[in-house]
Amino acid sequence: MGLDIRVPIGALFSLLGALLAVYGLAGGRALAGNIDLWWGLVLAGFGAAMLLLAWRAR
């Protein structure tokens, strides 16, 4: 269909994860007992893995 779905999934979750992690890092204890930071890193990792899979399958 001309578009590998893993590319938008990977890009979206990398972007959302990075946004959350940076926001969590800046917010620190006020946000925390720091789900933004840790979950942001999980999302970014998932997004990067998806992009890697898409790149390997290209």
Partner 1 sequence: MHPKAIDWIIMGTYFAFVLGIGAALKRSMRTSTDFFLSGRSMPAWITGLAFISANLGAQEVIGMAASGAKYGMATSQFYWVGAIPAMVFLGVFMMPFYYGSRARSVPEYLRLRFDEKTRGLNAITFAVMTVFSSGISLYALALLLRLLLGWDFNASIALSALIVLVYILLGGLTSAIYNEVLQFFLIVFGFAPLVLIGLKDVGGWHGLVTGLHAVARSQGFEPRAWLSTWGVMGSPRDNPMGVDWFSMAMGLGFVLSFGYWCTDFLVVQRALAADSMDSARRTPLIAAVPKMLFPFLVILPGMIAIAATVHGGASGLTLPRKADGQLNYDMVVPLMLGKYFPSGMLGLGLTALMASFMTGMAGNVTAFNTVWTYDIYQAYIRRDASDAHYLTVGRLATVVGIGLSVAAAYLTNRFSNIMDLLQLLFAFVNAPLFATFLLGMFWKRTSGHGAFAGLLAGTAAAAVHHGLTLPAGRTPGIKGGWIAVMHLYPSQMAQNFWTAIYAFAVCLLVTLAVSLATRPRPEKELVGLVYSLTPRERTSERRWYRRPALLGACVLAAAVALNVMFW
Which residues here bind partner 1, judged by CB under 8 A? 1-3, 5, 8-9, 11-13, 15-16, 19-20, 23-24, 27, 31-32, 35-36, 39-40, 42-43, 46
Residue with tokens 């720091």: 34
Q: Nearer to partner 1 by C-beta: 19 or 48? A: 19
Q: How near is the Cβ of 3 to partner 1 at its closest, in Å?
A: 5
- How far is Cα 37 from Cα 8, in angstroms, rounded to an integer? 22
Dihedral Cα 18, 19, 21, 24, nearest 10 deg = 170
Q: Nearer to partner 1 by C-beta: 37 or 55? A: 37
Radius of gyration of the chain from its Cα atoms, rounded to whole angstroms: 14
